[in-house]
């Protein structure tokens, strides 16, 4: 799974965070947005969150992180490791 803002896969340095509106973005994108405007506004639904809502205080999206981790494992394994023996 990837961040819909930067299109990078979620990872340990790009933790998926849930906004209060329900949309999910990586911590790096949210931190950049917060530094520029001192608040977070969802790019999809335009919900403006209170200025005290900081990226690291938002809950992690563990489902997105798990899916991204599995995708990375599959990429590292290569195309031939997923084939079944006949």
**What is the rounded CA–CA span in Å between residue 40 and residue 25?**
11
User: Which single residue is written with the structure tokens 């994108």?
Assistant: 29
Whole-angstrom Cα distance, residue 66 to residue 13? 14
The verdict on pTM exceeding 0.85 is: no
> For domain 16-75, which CATH number applies: 3.40.50, 2.20.28, 1.10.287, 3.30.40?
3.30.40
**Per-residue pLDDT tens digits for 19-73:** 999 999 999 999 999 999 999 999 999 999 998 889 999 999 999 999 988 887 8
Reading phi first (left if > 0) and then psi (alpha if -120 to 50, else beta), residue 40 is in beta
- CA 67, 72, 55, 32 dihedral sign is negative
């Amino acid at each position: 799974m990837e961040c819909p803002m930067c299109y990078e896969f979620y990872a340990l340095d790009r933790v998926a965070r849930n906004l209060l509106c329900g949309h999910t973005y990586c911590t790096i994108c949210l931190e950049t947005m917060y530094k520029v405007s001192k608040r977070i506004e969802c790019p999809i639904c335009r919900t403006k969150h209170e200025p005290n809502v900081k990226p690291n205080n938002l809950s992690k999206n563990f489902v997105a992180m798990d899916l991204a981790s599995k995708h990375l494992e599959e990429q590292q394994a290569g195309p031939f490791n997923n084939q079944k023996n006949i």
